[in-house]
């Protein structure tokens, strides 16, 4: 099956899950990457290195800033020329809007935030979490092209092969000026929560000294090459920005390792991290519900346990 893969990026920086989508496409047959933006020729080359056989490149000032309207019209025009049966996207806030609008233009449907996928006679059967991850559904799209967005880290990321070549075909951009972007202020630098292999989160347990608590949490995250998360309680108290919130009203993460420090484990928090491979809980309260979902637990104070854990990992990972 010939699959198109939309390469999501921000100012030319690709979302790593774009490569996961490309890797999945390659298991189904030939893959065409779609690269839209301005000054993104380098990204088209990277897509070839990650396995794309062909790239459709729309490099145009009209696409300098992501606009769901302009990007939808650009993509929809390509679909009318040829007809892929499947278009894959990594799930981000941008691609959710792009795929949504595309489903209207193409009279098709979107399978969102997919964590498992099989293809039977050209028909995708996608598995995705529903009810905040409390249940799973298998779902299908009766129209073509089937639009599927993949949850970050749900599919393996292929290794790039440097210098791999392929055809880059330039395609026209469509403009849309209905929304004017005035400015942008960058969030914190560091590993993105959705793409992180390790997440260390702090909660209400830091309350006796929030600044120090999150400094310790960040230090452990840094030792493990991971990202910093937080419970809603910690965000509501103003200990840490909303961008770090994991849970129902924050971000959904699925790292290999999730360390919850001083987080009781409310159901709304669990719905944001329940798909983590290994969950470790550190909490003073032996009855905290978080222990019911954790593989490993320590009943203790995060202000002593987190730095001790940082030291232990520094030693074992040869970082001291």
Partner 1 sequence: MKIVVCIKQTPDSEAKLTAQDGQPSWGDAPLVINPFDEYAVEGALQQKEAVDASVTALCIGPDSARDALKHALAMGADEAILVSDPALDALDSAGAARVLAAAIQKIGDAGLAFFGRQTIDNGTGLVPAQVARVLGWPLLSLVGQMTLADAEIKVERTIEEGKQTAHASYPAVLSIMQGVGEPRYPSFMGIRKAGKAEIPVWTLADLGLEAPAQIVRRAELLNPPARDTKCEIISGGSPAEIAEALAEKILAEKIL
* Residues 23-62 close enough to bind partner 1 by CB under 8 A: none
Q: Residue 67 Cβ, how far from partner 1 at the closest point, in Å?
A: 9
**319 belongs to the binding site for partner 1 (CB under 8 A):** no
Q: Do 49 and 72 form a contact (C-beta atoms < 8 A)?
A: no
Pairwise CA distance, residues 184 & 186, whole Å: 6
The strand pair at 198-202 and 257-261 is best described as: parallel
Q: Do 65 and 183 form a contact (C-beta atoms < 8 A)?
A: no
State the number of binding residues for partner 1 (CB under 8 A).
Answer: 86
Q: Which residue has the tokens 């793409």?
A: 195
Q: Do 86 and 4 form a contact (C-beta atoms < 8 A)?
A: yes
Among 10, 16, 53, 119, binds partner 1 (CB under 8 A): 10
Q: Residue 276 Cβ, how far from partner 1 at the closest point, in Å?
A: 10
Pairwise CA distance, residues 10 & 105, whole Å: 24
Q: Do 138 and 145 form a contact (C-beta atoms < 8 A)?
A: no
Structure token digits, residue 171: 């395609």
Pairwise CA distance, residues 313 & 103, whole Å: 47
Which residue's CB is nearer to partner 1, number 119 or number 125?
125
Among 42, 136, 159, 175, binds partner 1 (CB under 8 A): 136
Q: Phi and psi of 34, rounded to 5°? A: -110, 120
User: Which residues, 205 to 234, sit near partner 1 by CB under 8 A?
Assistant: 224
Q: How far from the centroid of its chain's Cα atoms is residue 70's Cα?
A: 23
Among 184, 238, 287, 318, binds partner 1 (CB under 8 A): 184
Q: Residue 233 Cβ, how far from partner 1 at the closest point, in Å?
A: 14
Beta bridge partners of 120: 123
Among 42, 83, 143, 211, binds partner 1 (CB under 8 A): 143
**7 belongs to the binding site for partner 1 (CB under 8 A):** no
Which residue's CB is nearer to partner 1, number 46 or number 245?
245
Q: Which residue has the tokens 């490569």?
A: 19
Residues 86-125, mask of contacts with partner 1 (x by CB under 8 A): ------xxx-xx-xxx-xxx-xxxxxxx-----------x
**148 belongs to the binding site for partner 1 (CB under 8 A):** no
Q: Phi and psi of 230, rounded to 5°? A: -160, 155
Pairwise CA distance, residues 269 & 69, whole Å: 33
Which residue's CB is nearer to partner 1, number 121 or number 316?
316
Q: Residue 72 Cβ, how far from partner 1 at the closest point, in Å?
A: 7
Residues 152-181, mask of contacts with partner 1 (x by CB under 8 A): --------------------------xxxx
**183 belongs to the binding site for partner 1 (CB under 8 A):** yes
Q: Residue 16 Cβ, how far from partner 1 at the closest point, in Å?
A: 12
Structure token digits, residue 100: 């949504």
User: Which residues, 224 to 283, sit near partner 1 by CB under 8 A?
Assistant: 224, 242-243, 248-249, 256-257, 267-268, 271, 274, 277-278, 280-281
Q: How many CB atoms lie within 10 A of CB 105?
A: 14
SS3 state at 199: strand
Stretch that binds partner 1, among 25-33, 167-175, 199-207, 301-309 (CB under 8 A): 301-309
Which residue's CB is nearer to partner 1, number 211 or number 308?
308
**135 belongs to the binding site for partner 1 (CB under 8 A):** yes
Q: How many CB atoms lie within 10 A of CB 295?
A: 12
Among 39, 82, 317, 319, binds partner 1 (CB under 8 A): 317
- ∠ CA 282-286-290, rounded to 5°: 55
């Amino acid at each position: 099956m010939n699959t198109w893969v939309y390469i999501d990026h921000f100012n030319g920086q690709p979302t790593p899950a774009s490569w996961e989508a490309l890797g999945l496409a390659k298991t189904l047959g030939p893959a065409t990457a779609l690269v839209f933006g301005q000054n993104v020729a380098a990204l088209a080359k990277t897509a070839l290195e990650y396995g794309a056989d062909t790239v459709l490149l729309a490099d145009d000032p009209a696409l300098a800033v992501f606009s769901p309207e302009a990007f939808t019209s650009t993509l929809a025009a390509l679909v009318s020329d040829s007809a892929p049966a499947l278009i894959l996207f990594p799930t981000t806030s941008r691609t959710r809007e792009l795929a949504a609008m595309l489903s209207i233009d193409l009279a098709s449907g979107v399978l969102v935030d997919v964590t498992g996928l099989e293809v039977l006679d050209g028909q995708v059967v996608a598995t995705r979490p529903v009810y905040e991850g409390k249940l799973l559904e298998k779902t299908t799209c009766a129209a073509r092209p089937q639009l599927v967005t993949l949850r970050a880290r749900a599919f393996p990321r292929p290794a790039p092969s440097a210098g791999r070549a392929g055809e880059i075909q330039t395609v026209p951009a469509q403009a849309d000026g209905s929304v004017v972007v005035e400015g942008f202020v960058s969030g914190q630098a560091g590993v993105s929560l959705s793409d992180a292999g390790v997440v260390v989160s702090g909660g209400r347990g830091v309350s006796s000294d929030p600044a120090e608590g999150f400094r310790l949490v960040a230090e452990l995250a840094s030792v493990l090459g991971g990202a910093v998360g937080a419970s809603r309680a910690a965000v509501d108290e103003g200990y840490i920005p909303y961008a770090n919130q994991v849970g129902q009203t924050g971000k959904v993460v699925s790292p290999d390792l999730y360390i919850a420090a001083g987080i009781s484990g409310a159901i709304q928090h669990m719905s944001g991290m329940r798909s983590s491979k290994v969950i470790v809980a550190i909490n003073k309260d032996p009855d905290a519900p978080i222990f019911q979902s954790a593989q490993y637990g320590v009943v203790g104070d995060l202000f002593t346990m987190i730095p001790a854990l940082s030291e232990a990992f520094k030693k074992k990972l040869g970082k001291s």
